[in-house]
Chains A and B, each alone.
Chain A
Amino acid sequence: MELKYTMGIDVGSTASKCVIVKDGKEIAATSLVHAGAGSSGPAKAIKEVLEKAGLQEADLSYILATGYGRHQLPIARSQMSELSCHAKGAYELFPDVRTVIDIGGQDAKVLRISAGGNLDNFVMNDKCAAGTGRFLEVMARILEVDISQMAEFSRQSAKRVDISSTCTVFAESEVISQLAGGSDKCDILKGIHRSVAGRVSGLVRRVGVVNTVVMTGGVAQNSGVREALEEELKTTIVTSPLAQYTGALGAALFAYQKCIKEGNMDVTANER
C-alpha cells in the first residue's frame, strides 16, 4: 500500500510552520520560519519542510492550510480554522487533553476538547495585545532582554513586583517606572509573566479548567508564562517541544482524513 504524505501549513501573524505527516501517524518533518502572513515566510517554510523530508510537492497527497493567513495559499487544497487544527494537534500529542491554551503572536485562545478529541467550545481574546506574544515582545524590548531569556530571568526573581495595567501602553509605562525606580529586571519579568497569566486565565475560566490542560503556540516555550498560569489556575499545565507546531500538525492530520474520505484525488502522486 502506497504511503500517503500529507502536509499542514499554519501561517500565523509572526511565523509560518509546516508539518508533513506520514500515513496520518508519524511526523516526517517540520519547519518554522519567523515570517508570517503576507510575507515570503510561507513559501520558505514549505520549501524547507519538503527538503527535510526528502520529498517534492507532487509527493504530497493533500495540503491543508490553517492560521491567520490560510486563505492566501493557493497551494493548499482546503483550509480550516486554527481552532479546529490546534484541537486536533493537541489531541494527537496528548490523548487526554481536555483544555488547550494557545497564546500566539497576536491572540490567545482557549479550547475545550471532548473525550473523543473533538472541539467542543472555545473562547478567543478581545481585540487587544495584552496577554499575547506581542505584549511579551514589547516588554522584552523595554527590558533589553531576548525573548528566549525571559523565563530564565524571571525564575531568579526574589521580590514581588506587580504590573497591573491591562492596557499594553499603560503596562509599558509601569515597567519603565519600575526600571527607573531601581526594580530588578528579574522581578519585573516575573510580574510581566504574572500579568499575561492573569489576562489569559480569565479566558480559561470562561471555558472552564478541565484536566489535562495543554499549552500550545509560540508562547508555550516561555516556561515563565506557563508556570505563572499554573499558579493562577492551580493546576499542572503540560506542553511539548512541538508546541508551536500544534496547529500545523492538526492541519496535516485533517489533510490525511480528507484524503482518505475523498479518495486519493492527487493523480500526479499516483502517476509518479
Chain B
Amino acid sequence: MNMEMILKHFEAAAINPKGQLKEYIGKGKKAIGCFPYYVPEELVHAAGMVPFGVWGSNHKTIEAAKEYFASFYCSLAQLNLEMGLDGTLDDLSGVIVTTLCDTLRPLSQNFRVAVPKIPFMFLAHPQNRRKEYGIQYTISQYVKIKEKLEEIAGHPITDADLKASIKVYNQSRKARREFVKLAGEHPELVTPIQRSAVLKSACFMLKEEHTQLLEQLNELLRQAGPSQWAGIRIMTSGIVADSPGLLNILEENHMAIAADDVAHESRSFRVDVPEDTDPVRALARQFGAQDHDTILYDPEINKRPEYLVKLAKDSGVQGVIILMMQFCDPEEMEYPSLKKALSEAGIPHIVIGVDHQMKDFGQARTQIQAFADILATM
C-alpha cells in the first residue's frame, strides 16, 4: 500500500466508528466501550473483544443529556451520556467508566442509571498509584473488571491471553509514538487532519490491525527524503484535538503538530506495560507509572509543567497551542503553572477554548492566525 492509501484507510476508520463496530460484530466479535481515561484495554482485548474508545462526538448536540446535567459540564462527558441515551452505543456489549475527575464521578452514576441496558463496569483508579499499596488497589479494581469481562465474553481470560494482548498493545503504543515523531518531521506528507485520523482510528480498530498499517506508514515516512517544509511547528495540549474545523485552521496557517500532550492522543500511549511479570500486576504498574496528566495527582508537585517545557524544547516547536476543553477544571487549574513555566522558558503559547459542539471557528481562526503572525516575526 502506498502512503495515500494507508492514510485514506485510517481516515475512513476515524470518521466511521459505527461502520467499524458493525463490521466487527458482523465477524462475530463483541465490543466494549472504553470511556476516558486509562482504561486497561488489554483486559478487553485478551477476552477476545474489541475495545472501542468513547470520547464524545464532533457530530452531535447535547439534548437528552440535559436531563442529567446542568450546563456547566464538559461536552466530552455530556456527549458520552448523550450517545448512551440516543442509541449510538447500543451495539456495545458493555462500557467501562472511570472516575478521575469531578465530572466523571456524577457521569458514572448518571450513565449507570440512565442507560441500564448496556452492562456497566465501574473503574475507580487510585491517585496514590505508585506505592505498593496503590498498585494493590489498582490490581483489585482491574480484577473486578476482568471478572465482569469474563462474564460478558462467556469464558475466562487466561494469563497467557493477557500477556499476548500486552505485547500487542506495547507494539501499538510504540508505533504510535514513532508516528507522532515522524509526522512531526514530515508535515509536507501528513496534514494535521491526517495525523489526527491516524491516531483516532486506533480507537475503532483492533490494535494489531492498526499497528500493521501504521508500521508500514512509519517505514514510508522514514524512507522519505529530508523535509523541505518551511512552516511553523507547534505542540498541542489538552483533552481532545480531533475537530476537523480546528485542524483545518492549523493547516491553513502552515502549522504542523510536532508533538502533543493530548489526553486522546499521546497521553494515552506514553507508557508501556512491563512484560516481565504477572500480567494484571503489570497493568497496575503501568498505571502507577502514568504521569504528567492534569487529572493525575503529581506527588512530586512540579513535574508536569517541567515535563511539558522539556517536551516542547526536545520537539523543536516554536509555540504551544493549549486547547482548553470548556468546563474542564483539572486543565484550568493546571494552566497558571503551565503559563509560568512556558513564559520562563521563552516558549510562546495561546489558549483556545474548545468544546465538541463548536460550529463557528471565527474566534479560533483569528487567534491561530495572529499566533502564526507572532511566531513568524520571532
Contacts and interface: CB of A to CB of B under 8 A. Distances in A.
- Chain A in direct contact with chain B (Cβ < 8 angstroms): yes
Interface of A: 68, 80-84, 107, 118-122, 124, 126-127
Contact of B363 (A84, A118, A121, A124): A124
B220 interface: no
What secondary structure prevails in chain B residues at the interface with A?
helix
A81 B353 contact: no
Contacts of A82: 366
Given A126-B353, A127-B353, A121 B366 contact: no
B366 A81 contact: yes
B363 A119 contact: no
Contact of A122 (B326, B353, B362, B367): B367
A80 B373 contact: yes
Given A127-B326, A127-B353, 19 more contacts: A80-B373, A81-B365, A81-B367, A81-B370, A81-B373, A82-B366, A83-B366, A83-B369, A83-B370, A84-B369, A84-B373, A107-B363, A118-B377, A119-B377, A120-B374, A122-B370, A124-B363, A126-B353, A127-B363
B348 interface: yes
Contact of B369 (A81, A120, A127): A81
Contacts of A127: 326, 353, 363
Interface in B347-378: 348, 350, 353, 362-363, 365-367, 369-370, 373-374, 377
21 contacts: A68-B362, A80-B369, A80-B373, A81-B365, A81-B366, A81-B367, A81-B369, A81-B373, A82-B366, A83-B366, A83-B367, A83-B370, A118-B377, A119-B373, A121-B348, A122-B350, A122-B367, A124-B367, A126-B353, A127-B326, A127-B363
Nearest to B369: A81
A40 B9 CA distance: 44
Contacts of A107: 363
Contacts of B353: 126-127
A119 B369 contact: no
Contacts of B366: 68, 81-83, 124
A122 B369 CA distance: 12
A82 B369 CA distance: 9
B338 to A, nearest CB: 14
A80 B348 CA distance: 20
Contacts of A84: 369-370, 373
Given A68-B362, A127-B363, A121 B374 contact: yes
